[in-house]
Structure 1
Amino acid sequence: MKLQDLDIIVTSPPAPGWGGRYWILVKLTTDTGITGWGECYASSVGPDAMQAVIKDVFARHMQGENPENIELMFRRAYSSGFTQRPDLTVMGAFSGLEIACWDILGKDRDRPVHALLGGRMNDSIRTYTYLYPQPGHDISAFWNSPDMAAESAAEMLRRGYTAVKFDPAGPYTIRGGHMPAMSDITRSVAFCKAIRDAVGDRADLLFGTHGQFTTAGAIRLGKALEPYQPLWFEEPVPPDDVASMARVAAAVNIPVATGERLTTKAEFAALLQSGAASILQPALGRAGGIWEMKKVAALAEAYNAQMAPHLYAGPVEWAANLHLATSIPNLLLAETIETPFHSDLIRGSIKVENGYITLSDAPGLGIDVDEDLARAHPYTGSGLHLEMQEAPCDYVNGNAFQGGAPSPDQTL
């Protein structure tokens, strides 16, 4: 069996666009006629340029190869071109293609991917969700409203979720770390208080920051949040500043979580060695694929750290995350996004029930991709999957973060 053909679909979720502006799906076919699906979570170049990278990585390192030889193909992609270091764009391309190889292998052997990774360690996977606007909420006002966030948290609790994530401390800027405005700290405390009051001790609070603060600024903010006992303080400083993240972890009594922008075991190992994070959040469509993150999970286990696979993409990466989560002993949580488009794109083949997911024993990734639906929603914009703002932190008028992707002003 050899990898023969590649097809790429760039699909765009309908407004309000939870999961990003577009998802890059890859479909591999072997010379024996088996197809496998993967997803490339990469946003450092636009989708047209990224398709060219994916095609090059496939043709150069994978086409004609047995899909079993994942280690060999990884080393080719990682090392060729005299690199041998993490590369966000190349690894983003390889990751989606690697996921598709596992889908093929599972289908060829009539076994689920998690069975090929060491078997079922976790029958049930605890999941979490971002807090999104609910019916009746004004989308533009939601992101700065502690009361609406608390209402959303109460609804997620009603649905069975035991952990909710929110991010009221914006902005994300291209300028690197900044000192938070006092109004940002006040608003963040108000969010934590309102959500804690809404869920009590029945759900964990996951505080997202995504790399926008200086070390001192992150410590100031983290200290203010400590009374509300968040389960994690997510990426408090820029993701490549491991030493500063370790200083935040030592100074703030909230576990630090990070990893959605990192790739390969080289970057994750540095976090563990420095004590910068006790919760790792790889996005499998970017970080090197399923096998590479199985290695990272083993590294984390040796450091008594936990895994919480990240999702701000489509349901194919979600499926890959969940197969890894099913197979590892040090799982904390797995992120999920519930929208009709996410569900319809895989024809409802993975379901969240009372905040938990149990994967079936269906072969491969166990998903049924609606290829026609994916092609019916092509991405026609010019923006990247996610983007940072150029304007600096506003210390006069305050800051408003509009969620993970732009959305029209409307009431749900």
Structure 2
Amino acid sequence: MPDAFHARITAELADIDAQGLTKPERVIQSRQGPEIQVGGRRVLNFCANNYLGLAGDERVVQAGIAAQERWGAGTASVRFICGTLEIHKELEHAIADYLGFEDTILFAAAFDANGGIFEPLFGAEDAIVSDSLNHASIIDGVRLCKAKRYRFANSDMADLEAQLKQARADGARDIIIATDGAFSMDGYIAKLGEVRALADKYDALIMVDDCHATGFLGPQGKGSFAHCGVKVDFVTGTFGKALGGAMGGFICATKDVVALLKQRARPYLFSNALAPAVCGSSMEAIRIASGEEGDKLRSQLFANAERFRGKMAEAGFNLLPGEHPIIPVMLGDAKLAQDMAARMLELGVYVIGFSFPVVPRGAARIRTQMSAAHTFDQIDEAVEAFIKAGLELGVI
């Protein structure tokens, strides 16, 4: 390749680093959990999406091993050619039954689920009205679709109504409102009750990305729509967070919608079927999450979030308000966020600094995430480390 190309790439990387925007990869030497091994030493983990603490749970691990022993490493193909196993159908039924939908389609990743939902279902005659803070995967999925695009300010119901009015005035055939159920950078929960009312008023469909809600929000952990007490038309989600922590995504909808997606959704048609081990682990996680043990884990998760939030606020940190176990510690400056994360690791707490383009410029932060597996002692230890680092760096 031309030398000029390599020089440009090197310069761009140097610029990213100079702005404090480099996102380091740290190697974990243990199972995921509230405590992990990083750099040969024990550290407390406060940045994983391991909401129910099931990623390293022995039952979840063994269920994955058993599935792989029975079904092998994978199908070596996409499903419509020769790739559907019984365990894929079992997982589809398990997640659909858990969340209260007719059917489910599985994807290799939740990014693929959001990337594949819009284009097969909506055309140039239709409209997609999308929240401005939706996950990048929704944004990319909307871009792949020919439907007319409208955007409303994050959880701004007046703006949502204005966009719905405009879409109707523009003659849209079908309108779909697309929103995260819980916004991953802020921990805000979507106002789905108000969204539902506006959808009914303007005869619109609702699609919710519940990656940061399935398993722990709402009754039995059924998600943000259950938390808000409403019904929605499509739910996308993941097995890579609360439900086992592996990977894989899904769309829950009616049988006919799922049937059409299986004929037309490109990420489904052209990606290998989900690995059997992921299916086995995910089904065991669903079993745990949907039962009485799941209720206990959810109770502990939110007790942990309340304790951490209270102690950090008392110490003088700037936190975004909310009830979600995502608790952002706002710092503003990208380099400060990276320095804070590095110092926290030295103090034995693994957290990550988030900065542009993951969050808006000037809104850099440490995004902490609680788990049901954390103990109060671990939370208190993390808060003490935050206070020490915060004093040293002038944050508090």
Shorter-chain TM-score category? 0.3 to 0.5
Q: What is the TM-score of this pair, normalised by structure 1?
A: 0.33
- Greater share of helix residues, 1 or 2? 2
Larger Rg: 2
